[in-house]
Structure formats: structure tokens, C-alpha cells
Chains A and B, each alone.
Chain A
Amino acid sequence: MGLFTKIKNYITGGAAEVGIVFEENPTDGLSPLRVFVTAFANADCKASNVYLKWRARETYKKLVTTTSTDSDGNSTTSTHSETRYEDHYTAQVKVAEEVSIAKGKEERWLVTLDLPREAHPTYHGKEVFFKWEVFAGLSMPGNDPDSGWQEVVIRRKTNYQYKEQEANGRDQ
């Protein structure tokens, strides 16, 4: 491998292609989630570890008001909506340590994740989303080769309890 290629892989994380395959997607999330992590080496790879992260993320819109003042001291207020995120749940596991993959070879690992039973199932709305996502990466010098966040759809029954005081009006 030439020096230029090494530098390019260092910057882009292009030394390996990391993928995620869910054994079941959609799933009810009640039984452990089995995830296969694959890494195909574009160059000889040495990773200190292979890791897997997962999260449950609420995406929503929030109204934001900004006030600016010009040189004459006149204030202008404007309101716009911004996309915001809040993670309800995050976790990370180490899948393997001290991994070497020769150029052109592929390695696979099976990971079993336990999702919290009380967590929301997936919701896909117009502006609101609640997604479960998984991310795998090889810990290497420079940018880690990674899979990006991949969604697994959790389809299961919710269990909201009716409360009189919350049932009326515009509250959430």
C-alpha cells in the first residue's frame, strides 16, 4: 500500500467496509436482538477493537426564537423551527479486541443486544420520529471505518395508561 493510500484511509476510514445485518428486522425487541457485524478489508487492517453502539432517538421540531439588534439599536425577533434530537437510551459494547484483517478478507462477529423492555417502539411520523439505531466501527488510528447508523424497526405493543388529568387539552 502506498503512502498516499494509507493517508487517505487514515482520513476517510476507508481501510475497511463495515456493515451490519440484523437477523430479524422488524423485530418485537422482546427477545434479544442478534446483529452480525461484518468488516471487509480494503487494505491490511489492525484495529484495537471492534465496537457496537445502539441508541433510541427521538427526533422532533422545536420552535426557536432569535433576536438580533442592528447598528442603530433596532431589535428584530424571528421564530423558526429546528430539528432537534434526544437520545432516550444509549449503550456500547466491545465486540472484539486486537483485530487484524488482511486485505481482501472479511471478518464477521455476532452480537446479541438486550433492548430495555420499557422503551418505546419505533414511531415514524411526519416531523416526529422515534428510531432504534445500531452503529458498528473498527477502532483504528485516524477516522474509524464504520457502518453508519442503521435502523432496526421495533414493532411491539405499547402500554400507555389512561390518566384523567393528562387526557384533556393540548398537553403531551
Chain B
Amino acid sequence: MGVINKLKNYVTGQGARVEMAFGNPEINGPEALQVTLTAEATDDVLYAEQVILQLRAIERSASSHVLYSDDLVLDKQVQLSPGQPSKWEQSVAIPPHIAGTFVGKHSSFHWEVRGRLEAAGIDPKSEWQKFFVNRIPTTEH
């Protein structure tokens, strides 16, 4: 990405709409998560260095602790135009040594993903979206 494009992103604050859909929001056993990421520029052409899928496992009670995180690069040097959504499909393996989902009355342990475009100055991203990992838990972290 050229200097002009980086500056353009900074100056105009142009963005993109980043959305995700799951093929299987409930993971059973060793299954991988099937994710479709869609991104579309909202105002003007957007140049992104990378398209990233972020995965995390987060424990919440009084405070939050990310017990696992990983970034998967889906694409590089991407140009997005308004009215022309781009789509990426990814199979995401869930590490077997991390616990599955736990939902208590006052606390939880959730698996989440979000899509992020690494674009100079703005980094448009989706919301973190939960999915459920149903499998025999482990006591190792």
C-alpha cells in the first residue's frame, strides 16, 4: 500500500462494514469452526494491508482474562470498493488443550471470533461473536 493510500485512509476516516457468519456455531468434539467473513467499503475505496480473523477464549467474572488468542491472516493487500462486498471462508481449528465453553450463573468461559481489516488509520472490525465449543473439557490451560 502506498503512502498516499495510507494517508487517504487516515485523512478521510473511510471505513468498511465487516460481518461474520458461522457455518456451525456449535462445535462438537474436534470439529473446526467454519467462518465466512464479509467486508465492504462504506464510503470510498479502502486499502487493507491484511484481512485478519481473530480468535480468543475469554474468561469473565469480575474481570476478563483472555486465556487463548490467535490471529489468522486470511488475505493480504486487499482493495475494497463500495457496493462490492468481498468474502473469505475459513476453517478455524480450536486448540484441543483449551477448555470448551462454560456458562455459569456468575461467570463464563467463551470462545469468540471477530474479523478485522488492517487498514492504516482505521482498522474496521466486526463485533466479537461467540460460538460454543461442546467437548470434553480439559483442566489444562
Q: Are B61 and A123 in contact (CB under 8 A)?
A: no
Q: Are B67 and A125 in contact (CB under 8 A)?
A: yes
Q: Say whether, besides A62-B61, A170-B60, A125 and B25 are in contact (CB < 8 Å).
A: no
A122 at the binding interface (Cβ < 8 Å): yes
In angstroms, how far is the closest chain B Cβ from the Cβ of A131?
10
User: What 1/0 mask marks residues of chain A from 142 to 162 whose CB sits below 8 Å from any chain B CB?
Assistant: 000000000001011111111
A70 at the binding interface (Cβ < 8 Å): no
A88 at the binding interface (Cβ < 8 Å): yes
A99 at the binding interface (Cβ < 8 Å): no
Closest B residue to A88 by beta carbon equals B105
| Interface residues of A, dominant DSSP | loop
Measured between beta carbons, the chain B residues less than 8 angstroms from A157 are: 28-29, 100, 134-136
Q: Are B102 and A155 in contact (CB under 8 A)?
A: no
Closest B residue to A64 by beta carbon equals B62
A84 to B56, CA, bound (A): 26
User: What 1/0 mask marks residues of chain A from 12 to 25 whose CB sits below 8 Å from any chain B CB?
Assistant: 00000000000000
In angstroms, how far is the closest chain B Cβ from the Cβ of A89?
12
A126 to B59, CA, bound (A): 8
Closest A residue to B136 by beta carbon equals A155
A118 at the binding interface (Cβ < 8 Å): no
Instruction: Please give the number of chain A residues whose Cβ is less than 8 angstroms from any Cβ of chain B in the complex.
Output: 34
Q: Are B105 and A81 in contact (CB under 8 A)?
A: no
Give which listed residue, A61, A120, A158, A159, contacts B63 with CB less than 8 A. Answer: A61
Q: Are B134 and A159 in contact (CB under 8 A)?
A: yes
A1 at the binding interface (Cβ < 8 Å): no
Q: Are A160 and B103 in contact (CB under 8 A)?
A: yes
**Other contacts beyond A127-B62, A157-B100, A158-B132: 19, CB < 8 A:** A58-B107, A60-B61, A60-B106, A61-B107, A62-B106, A63-B62, A123-B109, A128-B102, A128-B107, A130-B102, A157-B135, A158-B101, A158-B134, A160-B134, A167-B129, A167-B131, A168-B127, A168-B129, A172-B107
Query: Can you list 19 A-B contacts (CB < 8 A)?
Result: A60-B107, A63-B62, A81-B62, A84-B106, A86-B106, A121-B136, A123-B104, A124-B141, A125-B67, A125-B141, A126-B141, A128-B60, A128-B107, A128-B109, A155-B136, A158-B134, A160-B134, A161-B132, A170-B60
List A residues at the B interface (Cβ < 8 Å). 58, 60-63, 81, 84, 86, 88, 120-128, 130, 153, 155-162, 166-170, 172
Q: What are the 4 closest A-B residue pairs judged by CB atoms, nearest first?
A: A61-B62, A162-B25, A60-B107, A160-B132
